[in-house]
Every structure is written in C-alpha cells, then in structure tokens.
Structure 1
Amino acid sequence: MYRFSYSEILEDAPETGREREREAFDRALGLLRDVEARGLRGAERTAAVGLVQDLWNVLIADLLSPDNALPEGLRDDLVSIGLWTMREVGEVLSAPERSLAALIEVNTSIREGLR
C-alpha cells in the first residue's frame, strides 16, 4: 500500500510530486474498480473506500495549508470535490449495496487532471 506524507511529496520536484499523487490515485482507483467489478462487501470494500478517504484527508489538509501555492479558486474547487468524496465515502460505508461508480468517476477525473 502506498504510504507517504504530503511533505515528502512537496520536498521532491513538482513533477515527482504529481507522479506520486497519480500513483496514489491509481492504487485507490484500482482497488475501487476491483471491489465494484467483483461485487465485494466487507473488509475488502471497506479497505478500498478507506484508502480513498485517507488520500483525500491528506489532500484536503494540504489544500487548506497557507503554504499551498495553487490558485485560491482551484484550491476551493478541489476542497469541495474532496468534501463531496468524504460524504460519498460515508454513504458507501453505511450502505454496502451502494455502487462505487460515482467515487470511481470523480476520482478518475481528478487523477486525469494531474497530467
């Protein structure tokens, strides 16, 4: 599992940081897609959704940091997407029959934006 602090990403060149973000999204999306395709419930589903939640916890904290150099409007938009993701994670965890399609679609769009 990918575990790194956002400060480690920021210490690297911006290209390396974006690559690590893409890798984290790729890992989370791979797990979500697998769980959705196989109709998994229980611990595997919780772990996949939890990884997305962990990723967005890190991203939101960084986006809210006064040291974040992204334009304010972009930061605000990304925080809004992150907060939606966190709400959707809560819904998915409380309703095991709920599809992961929305989480997959939104996070795929964000991942593609890291190009």
Structure 2
Amino acid sequence: MYQFSYADVQEDGVAEAREREREAINHSISLLEAAKAGGIESREAVEAVYFVSRLWVRFVEDLASPENQLEKELRANLISIGIWVIKECERIRQRESDNFQGIIDISKIIRDGLK
C-alpha cells in the first residue's frame, strides 16, 4: 500500500495545475499564430481572441483570489500583464490593432516561466 504525505499530494496538484496552464497557453499561442497568418478579419482571429480573453480572465480571477499562494508582487505583476492581454484582445476584436505578435511574445514568456 502506498502512503503519500499531504505535502507530496499538494505538490503533485500544483505541478499538474502548472502543466494544464502551460497546455492552455500553448493552445492560445497556436490560435494566435493562426490568427496572425489569417489576418485580423479571419475566423482564426475571432477564435483566438475569444479563447485568449477567456483564458486570461480566468488567470486574473485566480491571481486575485486570496487563496492564491504566489507572492503578492508576482501576482500583481501577472494581473497587470493579464489586463494588458485582455485589453489588447479587445482592441483586436474592435479592429483597432493587429498585435497578435505582442500577445504571442508575452504568452511565451509566461509559459516558459511555468516550468
């Protein structure tokens, strides 16, 4: 019979959550790259903006939660980044920007920081 400490189980949960976050960001990057190739008025752009906006709204909600265990300054910085991404998606949606690459670059940096 296996016995795991609570800390081991909790650490596994955190590792799995980070991996899911990495996968979600990878998916968003793929969508954004397709949107960039297809152009601001493409179906890919609509799908990318919708997915990325929802993803970052969820991240910001999690980061703002008092249960989030990241240090306060890091959380604040990530929330600021999230707000920028959400606003940039809205600018793309309204055809005021085509800055897919900026969001891709930020997403890659955040993804790589989840290792």
- Provide Cα deviations, 1:33-67, integer angstroms capped at 9, x if missing partner: 11212336243211111111111111100101111
Counterpart Cα distance in 2 of 1:87 and 1:69 = 26
Match in the other structure for 2:34: 34
| Deviation of 1:90 (Å) | 0.9
Aligned CA distance change for structure 1 residues 37 and 78 (closer, same or farther; 3 Å): same
Counterpart Cα distance in 2 of 1:56 and 1:43 = 20
Q: Which runs of 5+ in 2 are unaligned?
A: 1-9
| Deviation of 1:96 (Å) | 6.7
Name the larger-Rg structure.
Answer: 2
Match in the other structure for 2:4: none
Whether the aligned pair in 1 keeps the contact of 2:28 and 2:48 (CA below 8 Å) is yes
Counting only pairs closer than 5 Å after superposition, residues 73-88 of structure 1 correspond to structure 2 as 73-88=73-88
Supply the RMSD in Å over aligned alpha carbons.
1.8
Aligned CA distance change for structure 1 residues 36 and 96 (closer, same or farther; 3 Å): farther
Match in the other structure for 2:23: 23
Whether the aligned pair in 1 keeps the contact of 2:56 and 2:86 (CA below 8 Å) is yes
Aligned CA distance change for structure 1 residues 35 and 96 (closer, same or farther; 3 Å): farther
Match in the other structure for 1:3: none
Taking structure 2 as the reference length, the TM-score comes to 0.83
Aligned length: 105
Is 1:93 equivalent to 2:93 in the alignment? yes
| Deviation of 1:109 (Å) | 0.8
Identity score, percent: 35
Counting only pairs closer than 5 Å after superposition, residues 1-115 of structure 1 correspond to structure 2 as 13-39=13-39, 41-95=41-95, 98-115=98-115
Q: Which runs of 5+ in 1 are unaligned?
A: 1-9
